[in-house]
Structures are given as structure tokens and as C-alpha cells.
Amino acid sequence: MNLDIIARLVRILSESPELIEVRRGWFGGWSSIRVTKAGHGTNAGGGGAGGEQQVAVAQAPAPPLGAGAPGSPAAPGAPPKTQLVEIKSPMVGTFYSAPEPGAPPYVKGGSRVAAGQVVCIIEAMKIMNEIEAEVSGLVREVCVENAQPVEFGQPLFRVDPHA
């Protein structure tokens, strides 16, 4: 695998789970790479004629609460963005706010959600995938319009878990 592929995996990993593994195979064997965030161990498995590479990626420390861009005033009355939790798209597809056309949306701004509650549907390859809230709280912002295409990792909702 070349360094460009590894660099792309590192970028993807910075916005995703603790581990990504990519395997490439051919008749003579296979090669694989596992990319993990620093502090998350892996069990290196494998076999075949190829080798396996592991890359650990250090995670940047989170900015302190209340830290924003220099000179950017906070909107009066709005909760600080650092306390909001983003529900992000786990895939590329089309965002749908309701279970069917004409039905009320699962959630809207100001709705209270519980962890595990369905908040939207993302259609990918003609499959309707229900997306669930990862936290309980108050939906402060719906970031996507109905029937709009979404990318992997794109924020769909911002939820205030402290409200």
C-alpha cells in the first residue's frame, strides 16, 4: 500500500471509530493495514504470503470548554457549541427526516430524544437505514434538509445532552 492510501485512512480514522482495517488480496496472498487511534490496541492477525502493517494515530487533545475561534462572539442566549453533541451520518446517502413522504419528521429542533431513538433515515443503495440518537437530550439544530444528499461524517443534528 502506498502512503497516499495510508494518509487517507488516517484522515477517515480521525472522524470515525477506533480501528480501520483494509485488506488487499490477489492469487499470491494478501496484504493488510490496520490503523488505530493511539491508546487502542489491536490483535494483529493475518497470514498468507503478504504482510500486515499497523499504524497508530495520535488523537489531538480536545479544546477546553468555551474555547472558540479568536474574536468570534458567541450568540447571546445560545448554548456554547462545545456542549452540543453532533449526530453524524455514518454513511453516504440521502437524508430523510420522516419514515415516509407526508409523515411528520422523527425529530425537529426543540424535540427531546432518547439514546437509541430513531432520528432519521439515510437511504444508501436503495436500502433505508434508520439512524439512532447516540445520546439523550434536546435537539438544538437540524443540520440537513429533507431529501438532501449527505456525506460520511456530516453532522445531521446537534443535541444538547445537558438540557
pLDDT tens profile 138-163: 999 999 999 999 999 999 999 999 88
Percent of the chain with pLDDT over 90: 47
Domain chopping of the chain, boundaries: 3-57, 82-160
pLDDT at 1 exceeding the cut of 90: no
- In this predicted structure, the answer to whether residue 79 has a pLDDT above a threshold of 80 is no
- For 112-131, how does the pLDDT look when each residue is reduced to its tens digit (9 = 90+)? 999 999 999 999 999 999 99
Instruction: Say what the pLDDT of residue 52 is.
Output: 45
CATH topology (fold) of 82-160: OB fold (Dihydrolipoamide Acetyltransferase, E2P) (2.40.50)
Residue 8 is predicted with a pLDDT of 72
Q: Please indicate whether residue 20 or residue 106 has the higher confidence score (pLDDT).
A: 106
* Nearest C-alpha neighbor of 85 from the set 163, 6, 32, 161: 161
pLDDT of residue 163: 82
Residue 43 reports pLDDT greater than 50: no
Q: Which of 32-36, 82-86, 109-113, 146-150 has the lowest mean pLDDT?
A: 32-36
Kindly report whether the global pTM for this prediction surpasses the value 0.85. Answer: no
